[in-house]
Every structure is written in C-alpha cells, then in structure tokens.
Amino acid sequence: MAKKSTGKENGGFALPPENYKLIAIGFAIIVTGFLLMLGGRSESPEVFSEKIFSFRRITLAPIVVLAGFVFEIWAIMRKPRNKKE
C-alpha cells in the first residue's frame, strides 16, 4: 500500500526544498523577462520613438516570461527523486 505524505519529512512544508529552489529560479526567469521589456522611451514627449517596437520588447521578452511561467508550473508539479534507503 502506498504511503501518504504527511509533510513531516519536508519539515512541514508542502514541497521538498529542491522544488522551492526551482521555483526561485522560475521567478528569476520571469523577472528577467520583465526587465527585457523595459526602456524605449523618447527624449521628448512630442517625439514618437520607434524603439518600443524592438525585437527584444515585442518578441523576446514575452517568450522569456511565458517560459518562466511554464518553468514555475513544472517546478511545482515535479516529484522529488526517490532516495535509496
């Protein structure tokens, strides 16, 4: 019969520590994507700047953010590796 996890082997947390490390990495990926979206303002409010339509802001940054969210889901759903006892 399968053992039920009570959380006591993880110190009372819902996930093992390696999952929390992966969640922190996923959060860093998401923050990096948002940082890639920054910038592109013009020097003067009367002048339109085409810098906001760069590849980095329109394509790369949303892909990085989406990859970060997918990584977060994987990090939460990942089963811990079985330790040989």
How do the domains of the chain map onto residue ranges? 23-77
Q: Which residues contact 73 (CB under 8 A, 6 or more apart)?
A: none
DSSP designation for 83: P
pTM for the complete prediction?
Answer: 0.78
DSSP 3-state of 82:
coil
Token pair recorded at residue 41? 């303002």
pLDDT by residue (tens digit) across 18-58?
999 999 999 999 999 999 999 877 788 888 888 888 999 99
